Amino acid sequence: MLVRAALVVPLAVLGGLTAPARQPAAGLRFEVRIDPKQVGAEPPSGRVLVGVAPAGQTPDFTNYRPPVLPLLGADADGFTPDKAVTLDARSVTFPEGSLATLPPGEYSVQAVFATNPDINLPHAPGNRYCDPVRVKLDPAAGGTVTLTLDKAYPDQKPDDTPTVKYLHLPSKLLSDFHRRPMVYRVGVVLPRDFDREPDKKYGLILDIGGFGTRYTAAGHLPPDGRFVQVVPDGAGPFGDPYQVDSANNGPYGRALTEEVIPYLEKTYRCGGPGARFTCGASTGGWVSLALQLFYPDTFNGCWSQCPDSVTFERFELIDLYADANAFVNRFGFERPSTRTQDGDVISTVRHEVQLEKVLGRRGRWELSGRDWASWNAVYSPRGKNAQPQPVWFGDGKIDRQVAEEWKKYDLKFYLEKNWPTLGPKLAGGKVSVWVGDADDYYLNAAVHRLKASAAKLTNPPFDGRIQIEMRAGHTNGGWTRKEMLDAMAARMGRE
């Protein structure tokens, strides 16, 4: 890598390789090139990201929690070694305007080129990058930092062990939808005595992690002698696919229930009627509850902790059905998104979406692969160019027509609408939900509404558990893993 002083006119154009040439802006510039060995048979296209971190550290391309240093993004189409992408203060930047106000000093700078069409993550396999470079940066003095993409992230699939298997299962359903070969990735945790007891059958647990949890997290789960534990992958073309059918991600729910689970049950002597369960926290909390509701005959119980918004009457704090704007509340103030346990605001919706604008192709937040983009891809209809329709516009104004389509995934409304047929199938306490009333992401607001709604359900009455724990934040309460697994074992009669 080469770090150069100022007064160098870059060869590239800001924001992509096909934009018209412009005069170089004053201040700092980052010129990103690609090594010829990283081009391949066809010049790649994707999103170029440049991140700044404290000296000696590696930039975090997905962090929005303060303190944060500048992150810049620009498109590159048909990236070849004779071209370059220049990013400067006019590029889409997070936090907005932060490059111009960066205090002078030593920093680490890194470039990443995100091109993987199936895993929307900066560090996805095949994405090019360069090692972090230590440089002195001073916006007042200006300067050009040249970064060369000379490496590619490998596929980091771990080796199998006697108790943990990492599977890439070809999916006809997903392949047909996306019109290219697609796999469903899962990590499988077997009981320690699985091979020594060839006639024993086990329960099956779908253990869904928090947002973006990779299937490789299965390696951190301790084996249990009663269950085969399965961790689905939280990465897909538009971010976390949430393991349900959607217009944009495709038939993940069908692939799971019609392809993956049958394979796992046949291969690992597990599951079957009455012996399949779901659990998870945060994203996993929503997914575990949604799978139980959408497939009530398939699963015999869910344990959902601090689930993502279970009704879009409170999408965090946004009422998608009544509010006019996602960024500003009805009182005219910036809408909070995360908080401390005592209620101090950490970040706002607008702040987080700005990060997603940097990550997303063409500066579109709904293509970033992060939280807001992933929700939008799961719940929204498909728009032009087979891409998700955004539920709000660039200024945060909510698209009421798109929001109406989200009701298909509003779990509170789904329960109310389908209770005559769902109620009998969920009887016997199949649903368990927990949230802290000081949840970091205000997810308690939606659970309060779910609980009030469930209390009004009749014929049969709702007999699940919805617990709201005072002063508890995100993921720091609820039942222990032992309590949960013991309850699952009791439900399938194998205590």
Q: By percentage, how much of the chain surpasses pLDDT 70? A: 94
Report how far residue 108's alpha carbon sits from residue 249's, in angstroms, rounded to the nearest whole number. 35
The residue among 366, 372, 406 whose CA lies nearest residue 244 is 406
**Per residue in 415-446, pLDDT tens?**
999 999 999 999 999 999 999 999 999 999 99
Kindly tell me the burial class for residue 99, based on how many C-beta atoms sit within 10 Å of its own C-beta (0-12, 13-18, 19 or more). Answer: buried
The residues, any chain, with a CB within 8 Å of residue 374's CB and separated by 6 or more, are 211, 212, 238, 239, 240, 241, 242
CA angle 380, 303, 174 (to 5 degrees): 40
Q: How confident is the model at residue 385 (pLDDT cuts 50, 70, 90)?
A: confident
> Would 27 be classed as within a structural domain?
yes
Q: How confident is the model at residue 89 (pLDDT cuts 50, 70, 90)?
A: very high
> Would 96 be classed as within a structural domain?
yes
> Would 398 be classed as within a structural domain?
yes
Which helix (H) or strand (E) element contains residue 168?
strand 164-170
The predicted model gives 116-139 an average pLDDT of 97
Q: Return the amino acid letter for 492.
A: M
> Would 126 be classed as within a structural domain?
yes
Report how far residue 100's alpha carbon sits from residue 116's, in angstroms, rounded to the nearest whole number. 31
pLDDT at 21: 37
**Per residue in 229-266, pLDDT tens?**
999 999 999 999 999 999 999 999 999 999 999 999 99
> Would 212 be classed as within a structural domain?
no
Q: Is 67 helix (H, G, I), strand (E, B) or coil?
A: coil
Is residue 365 within 8 Å of 357, Cβ to Cβ?
Answer: yes
Q: What is the dihedral of CA 467, 472, 476, 480, to 10 degrees?
A: -40
Q: Is the pLDDT of residue 10 over 50?
A: no
* Residue where a domain stops, chosen among 116, 133, 152: 152
Q: Is the pLDDT of residue 11 over 70?
A: no
* Residue where a domain stops, chosen among 383, 408, 433: 408
**Per residue in 167-226, pLDDT tens?**
999 999 999 999 999 999 999 999 999 999 999 999 999 999 999 999 999 999 999 999
Q: Is the pLDDT of residue 355 over 50?
A: yes
The residues, any chain, with a CB within 8 Å of residue 251's CB and separated by 6 or more, are 173, 174, 177, 245
The residue among 333, 451, 328 whose CA lies nearest residue 393 is 328
> pTM for the complete prediction?
0.93
> Would 414 be classed as within a structural domain?
no
Sequence length of the chain is 495
> Would 450 be classed as within a structural domain?
no
Identify the domain containing residue 125 by its residue range: 2-152
* Residue where a domain stops, chosen among 408, 438, 472: 408
Our measurement of the distance from residue 309's CA atom to the centroid of its chain's CA atoms, rounded to an integer in Å, reads: 14
Report how far residue 110's alpha carbon sits from residue 54's, in angstroms, rounded to the nearest whole number. 11
If one counts the domains in the chain, the total is 2
pLDDT at 412: 98
* Weakest mean pLDDT among 3-17, 18-32, 273-287: 3-17
Residue 258, token pair as written in the block: 């019609």
Q: Is the pLDDT of residue 358 over 90?
A: yes
> Would 290 be classed as within a structural domain?
no
Is residue 461 within 8 Å of 427, Cβ to Cβ?
Answer: no
* Other Cβ atoms closer than 10 A to 102: 18
Q: How confident is the model at residue 26 (pLDDT cuts 50, 70, 90)?
A: low
pLDDT at 399: 98
CA atoms within 13 A on the CB side of 137: 29
Q: Which residue's entry shows tokens 């709201």?
A: 468
Q: How confident is the model at residue 451 (pLDDT cuts 50, 70, 90)?
A: very high
Q: Is the pLDDT of residue 74 over 70?
A: yes
The predicted model gives 126-150 an average pLDDT of 97
* Weakest mean pLDDT among 82-86, 144-148, 221-225, 474-478: 474-478
pLDDT at 27: 85
pLDDT at 494: 61
Q: How confident is the model at residue 16 (pLDDT cuts 50, 70, 90)?
A: very low
Give me the chain's average pLDDT, please: 93
The residue among 150, 151, 145 whose CA lies nearest residue 72 is 145
Alpha-carbon distance values, 252 to 308, 322, 383, 443 (Å): 18, 30, 19, 24
